[in-house]
Amino acid sequence: MKIVRKVKVKNSLGLHTRPAASIVKLLQPRKSAVQFTHKHETINARSIMSILMLAARKNTVIEISVEGDDAELTMQHLVDAFESEFGEK
């Protein structure tokens, strides 16, 4: 199963090291393949360096693509993390 959804980066500093590390940690127990797309660049969301290379600032819209057996659960966890600003509120 493949799910695609768009989310907005709400963190005041964008996707800097702490949120990127949170994403990688969140994906560790998941089996699905996860990709982020921003400005026609698609990266593997399991790579902290790739996430940082997106240089996604506040209010940037990122497309998340999740494909695999646990796609729905993985997507929900990612959306919740973006909505809660990765605990930085």
Q: List, by residue number, the catalytic residues.
A: 16
Query: 41-61 in b/e burial notation, b at 16+ Cβ within 10 A?
Result: eebebbeeebbbebebeeebe
In the block, tokens 């494909």 appear at 67
d(CA 56, CA 69): 28
